[in-house]
Amino acid sequence: MSTAKLYSTYKTKMQKIADVKYASAVLQWDQETYLPPKGNDFRGQQIATLSEIAHQLFTDKTMGELLEELSLCEDLTSSEKRNIVLSKEDYERNIKLSAAFVRQLSETVNQSYHAWAKARKENSFALFEQPLNELIQLKRQEADMLGYEQHPYNALMNDYDKGLTVSKVDILFVELKTPLLNLLDSLKNKKSIDNSFLFQEFKKDNQWEFGLEILKRIGFDLEAGRQDISLHPFTTNFSSKDVRVTTRIDEHDFSNMTWSCLHEGGHALYEQGLPADQYGLPLGEYCSLSIHESQSRLWENCIGRGLPFWQHNFKLLTNSFPKQLKDINIEKFYKGINSVSPSLIRTEADELTYHFHVMIRYEIEKMLIEGSLPTKDIPACWNEMYQKYLGIKVPDDNRGCLQDIHWSHGSFGYFATYSLGSLYAAQLYSTIEKKYPAVSEDLTNGKINSIQDWLKKEIYCNGRYYSSEELCEKATGETLQSSYFINYATKKFSEIYL
């Protein structure tokens, strides 16, 4: 068989697997948005079946033989060769997990998610403890099956950012911790910023319409996506032409919805920008979750908490909420949305204390996966670390260890990518500013073309061709440097807290 026919067979197989995976993703999206409560059990069965089928199709012996044969072909294009290399790596990783294990994991995730939702409703970690414990045991088994060096947590982090390890993250957090603490300490003696205007009554419908308009203004294509409400904001996609975001609305906290829209909007722009002609193939997928998070943090913080962005959008804001903001000028608004103060909720944290929220989760996950922290002790450990890192007392489970959806999904190894995303975002944005010196002026005038064009060219179009570090170096000329975030944060908050 010719190379062209072999590659066509590979592409057809991969797209068939993608169809099954995305069908499962649609069911998962529905589960977190519109599923009626009585549908929980059958939905879990449906998702588990599709997960098992997708795994069986991908790990079939004929797929391994096809990939092996294609890996020896010398007349593939560079993109085709890269797809084969990445698919072969994925295949070799996936064959370490049995179809039965994949199904069991999927079923346990379904049970865990619904237990978490119930525990949230009743504000009781006890209702989540046993399902979570079962899931943690499975994730520890998964780490053993996949294999690892030095720490079992490395096997799980690798799922979210290939090559990411405990030692690498530990070093980055050491680099961050002292400068962040010093910066926070310097702000303590400054005049506090009033952000009370953000906590008035903001009607749900008004916030919803405002959020949709903001999504449009950053370039989200509503003909290739939509927004809905969920317990925890997230982004999912079924192709680059169908990308879903969700948000949540608190009628007494304007920040909750607005920066969820910007954060998830950043994720969605990345998904919508991936190459449609690579559907189902590695080059049609995102680079890593660290890079994915760089896109959400770039739009949420570097742009969405920046003065130029609001100089253009402030009129829309005041027209949408004239009563609440009648006495608020843009300077007061800008300072208010960048107020720094230790808080309980990660997704609502300021840019500086946010990293301590991540560090806490990272440390707890490491202990859970290595077995040094029993599941039942999570609340006590969580509360102790919040007192230690942020100096605040956790009043209940909902504002403590139940606030994130990640553990109910089995997403152990994810959290470090949030901080990495912030670091990548600062470095990418610094490069954009050097490339386009008028970018701030453009944002003031509502123009995002220069930003979008650069991201499409340097980030979106590459899919998984490069690793996170390789992509960063290609786009910025350097591998990841924490100094970009430290410099960005120091300059920004020193100017805000004069």
| Residue range 347-385, pLDDT digits in tens | 889 999 999 999 999 999 999 999 999 999 999 999 999
Instruction: State the number of CA atoms in the 13 A half-sphere of 320 facing the CB.
Output: 21
Does residue 21 carry a pLDDT above 90?
yes
> In this structure, are 459 and 486 located in the same domain?
yes
Q: Indicate the pLDDT class of residue 498, thresholds 50, 70 and 90.
A: confident
> In this structure, are 225 and 370 located in the same domain?
yes
> In this structure, are 117 and 53 located in the same domain?
yes
Task: Tell me if 307 is assigned to some domain.
Answer: yes
> In this structure, are 191 and 136 located in the same domain?
no
Task: At 440, list the tokens.
Answer: 């701030």
- Return the number of other C-beta atoms located less than 10 Å from residue 62's C-beta: 10
> In this structure, are 103 and 180 located in the same domain?
no
Task: At 305, list the tokens.
Answer: 């908490």
- Domain boundaries, position 197: 166-496
> In this structure, are 139 and 185 located in the same domain?
no
Number of domains the chain contains: 2
Task: Tell me if 482 is assigned to some domain.
Answer: yes
Task: Tell me if 159 is assigned to some domain.
Answer: no
The CATH number linked to 416 is 1.10.1370.30
Q: Residue 5: its pLDDT value, please?
A: 96
Angle CA 389–392–396, to nearest 5: 115
Task: Tell me if 157 is assigned to some domain.
Answer: no
CA proximity to 270, closest of 65, 83, 424: 424
> In this structure, are 227 and 372 located in the same domain?
yes
Task: Tell me if 156 is assigned to some domain.
Answer: no
Q: Indicate the pLDDT class of residue 189, thresholds 50, 70 and 90.
A: confident
Active site residues per annotation: 264
Does residue 241 carry a pLDDT above 90?
yes
Task: Tell me if 439 is assigned to some domain.
Answer: yes
Which among 87, 117, 147 is the end of a domain? 147
> In this structure, are 137 and 193 located in the same domain?
no
> In this structure, are 137 and 186 located in the same domain?
no
- Return the number of other C-beta atoms located less than 10 Å from residue 393's C-beta: 10
Task: Tell me if 160 is assigned to some domain.
Answer: no
> What average pLDDT does the segment 28-47 reach?
92
Cα dihedral: 404, 405, 406, 410 (round 10): 140
> In this structure, are 251 and 371 located in the same domain?
yes
pTM of the model as a whole: 0.94
CA proximity to 269, closest of 307, 309, 237, 247: 237
> What average pLDDT does the segment 67-95 reach?
97
Which among 147, 179, 206 is the end of a domain? 147
Task: Tell me if 452 is assigned to some domain.
Answer: yes
> In this structure, are 9 and 142 located in the same domain?
yes
